[in-house]
Amino acid sequence: MSIKSENIDIDKTWEVYGKEKSAAAKDRLILHYAPMIKYVVGRMSIYVGNAVDFDDLVSYGIFGLIDAIEKFDYQKGAKFETYAGLRIRGAVLDGLRSLDWVPRTLRQKSRQLDEAYSQLEADLGREPTNIELAQKLGVPAEEIDEEIKKSSLMALISLDDYLEGNHESGPAQPTDDNSETPENTFEHKQLREMLVAALNKLTEKERLVTTLYYFEEMTLKEISKIMDVSESRVSQIHSKAMLKLRTRLGRFKSILLE
C-alpha cells in the first residue's frame, strides 16, 4: 500500500525526526502513515472475522506503527511502508495472543484438522462435509467453522509474508548459489503445478476470495461489498479455502503452516 502525500514535506519531517526525535515530528509521521493501519488490519481481519472487534485490532496496530517509526532508519533509503506493515501485523498478532484468542494447543488442533480433512477426502473420494469433518474430529458440528477459522490464523504470518514478500521482490532480486540448481528448478516447478491444481479445485467463491485477497490485495470489507455477502461469510470462505490448500500441498504445505 502506498501513502499519497507531499513527499518533500514528509522527507523533511523524517529528517527532523531523525536529528531531533521531536514529539511534533513524530506526531506528524503518525498522522501521515495512519491510513496504513486500517489497510493492514482490514486485510488481517479476514483471518479472525467477527471474533475480535475491528477497533481493537486497529488499536493494536497503532502500537505497531509507533514502534516502526521509532526504530526506522530513514537514511538507509528503505521503503518505510514495507517495514511498518510488518510491524503493524506483528503488533496485531501480539494483541490477539494477549487476549488468549489463540489457545496454545491451536497448532496441534490445526494439524489434526488438516489430517482429518485429508483422510476423509481420500476415503470418500470427494470433499468431506462439515458434519463429516466434525464427526471425524469428535467435536460438535456447530463448532467446526470456528475450528477451521482458527486454524487459518496459524497461517497468517507465514502465508501473508510469503505472498507479500514475493510480491514486493522484483525479478532482479539476488539469489543464492544453489537457487539455479536442477533440483531447485524442478522443485519450484512442482510447487507451481501443485498450487495451480489446488487452486483449480477450490469452489468458485473460494477462488474469488483468494484472488481478491492475495492478488488484488483487497480488504475484508472490500471483498464483502464485491461479493454482496457479510464479512463473516467472506472470512468463513477464506478459512475453508486455506484448509483445502494446506491439505493439497503435501510436503510443500510448510509455506502455509510454519
The confidence band for 44, taking pLDDT boundaries of 50, 70 and 90, is confident
Q: Compute the distance between CA of residue 195 and CA of residue 202 in angstroms, rounded to an integer.
A: 11
Concatenate the DSSP letters of all residues of 99-145 into one string.
Answer: TT-S-TTHHHHHHHHHHHHHHHHHHHTSPPPHHHHHHHHTS-GGGHH
Within 8 A by CB and 6+ apart from 79, the residues are none
Number of domains in the chain: 2
Task: With respect to residue 50, please indicate whether it lies within any of the assigned structural domains.
Answer: yes
Is residue 140 predicted with pLDDT exceeding 70? Answer: yes
What is the pLDDT confidence band of residue 114, given thresholds at 50, 70 and 90? confident
CATH number for 123: 1.10.10.10
Domain-located, residue 244: yes
pLDDT of amino acid 190: 65
Least confident of 56-65, 102-111, 163-172: 163-172
Last residue of a domain, one of 51, 66, 98: 98
The CATH number linked to 16 is 1.10.1740.10
Residue 118 and residue 30 share a domain: no
Residues 144 and 189 in one domain: yes
Q: The pTM is what? A: 0.69
- Domain identity same for 94 and 111: no
Domain check: are 51 and 148 in the same one? no
Inter-CA distances, 68 with 73, 112, 218, Å? 10, 36, 23
Domain shared by 88 and 133, yes or no: no
Is 2 among the domain residues? Answer: no
pLDDT above 80 (res 231): yes
Residue 218 has pLDDT above 60, yes or no: yes
pLDDT score at 172? 34
Q: Which domain holds residue 188?
A: 106-257
C-alpha–C-alpha distance, residues 241 and 64, integer Å: 29
Average pLDDT, the chain: 79
Cell numbers 472490500 label which residue?
222
Instruction: Give the range among 1-5, 65-69, 113-117, 146-150 with minimum mean pLDDT.
Output: 1-5
Q: Which residues of 20-29 are buried (b: 16+ CB within 10 A; e: fewer)?
A: eeeeebbebb
Can you give the pLDDT at residue 32? 94
End-of-domain residue from the set 46, 70, 98 = 98
**Residue 182 shares a structural domain with residue 209:** yes
Cβ count near 88 (within 10 Å): 28
Cβ(173)–Cβ(234) below 8 Å = no
State the average pLDDT over residues 58-66.
95
Who's near 151: CB < 8 A, 6+ residues apart? 106, 109, 110, 113, 114, 239, 242, 243
